Structure 1
Amino acid sequence: MPAEDMQDYLKTSYSTDRIESEITDTQTFLFYTARDNQTHKLLGFVQLNRASEEPCLQIKPPHTIELQRIYTDSKAHSRGVGSKLMAKALEYSIDQGYKAIWLGVWEENLKAQKFYLERHHFDKVGEHDFTIGSCVQTDWILERHL
């Protein structure tokens, strides 16, 4: 992928205006953050979306919720932060009455696939194209029944 395509994507997707818009959107919300106990530095966060859908999902809206983002600081990898964030997202989804949670993951992101498929019991239910600039990538759609 050309570096300029990635830079444009990051500028657009993570601009202050875009983040502010997502924070105030009642369908997309920041749900949970993890912080270092000593430094209080942000180690990761989960963002869920009630309004998105994919045709391949086995359970359809309004009974499903998207795990739109789950990010951890690279220094927090292999420390259980991602699993704690996932547990909070699953707990919230169950408490709110959702029957499934789903996400998209890049087909070449093997580490993330292992996290979702093996550790957290998601199933691959389809694929979709994800465009970044002039590049079209394939994302796997993963779903977990709750």
Structure 2
Amino acid sequence: MTLISIKKASLSDLDTLQKIGKQTFMETFELVNTPENIANYLEQSFNTTQLTTELNNPDSQFYLAVLEQEVIGYLKINFGKAQTELINERALEIHRIYVLQQFHGKKVGQLFIDEVLKVVQQKPVEYIWLGVWEENHRAIAFYTKNGFTPFDKHIFTLGNDVQTDLLMKRQIH
């Protein structure tokens, strides 16, 4: 089997990030949300200005999973003030892990978690945290297997749909 590589994304990957971001979000959520809410989220989250700002933020990093020159998933992590909720300055947030549906079960998510664990060896991080939709049982099981435990909840609003995310964390130090 051909190896999947993980590479850090830069501004030159903007178009690729827009494409993979939109495609993976739609695959994951279009069946459980209205087309209007999905379209609005995609426009707000993956427009050129928004992604350029995020890619240029020194406290955010994007990584791409590449298989035979095809990007099959991406990871976004946030430090410090870039975190979506500033729970702890010395925490790292996994903001997004998305993988194309056809590659689910191929250990791409695990490669991303492994990459995060490499990153935290270089940074003074006390714990890693993330938010995951409470109905995404597959993802919750994956994070639990990787040592994450629930510690809180928060509201995620997708258009006019109010959803609950579990907040999960994994201690580092």
Shift of 1:123: 0.5
Match of 1:99 in 2: 126
Question: Does residue 67 in structure 1 map to residue 94 in structure 2?
Answer: yes
Q: Distance in 1 between matches of 2:34 and 2:97?
A: 25
Q: Distance in 2 between matches of 1:35 and 1:133?
A: 31
Match of 1:34 in 2: 65
Q: What does 1:58-137 correspond to in 2, within 5 Å?
A: 60-117=87-144, 119-137=145-163
Match of 1:8 in 2: 40
Question: Which stretches of structure 1, 4 residues or more, deviate above 2 A after TM superposition?
Answer: none
What are structure 2's unaligned runs of at least 5 residues? 1-32
Shift of 1:129: 0.5
Counterpart secondary structure, 2:163: strand
TM-score (norm 2): 0.74
Counterpart secondary structure, 2:125: coil
Q: CA-atom RMSD, angstroms? A: 1.5
Do the aligned partners of residues 33 and 53 (structure 1) sit closer, same or farther apart at CA in structure 2, a change above 3 Å counting? closer
Letter in 1 for 2:38: M
Give 1 or 2: higher helix fraction: 2
What are structure 1's unaligned runs of at least 5 residues? none
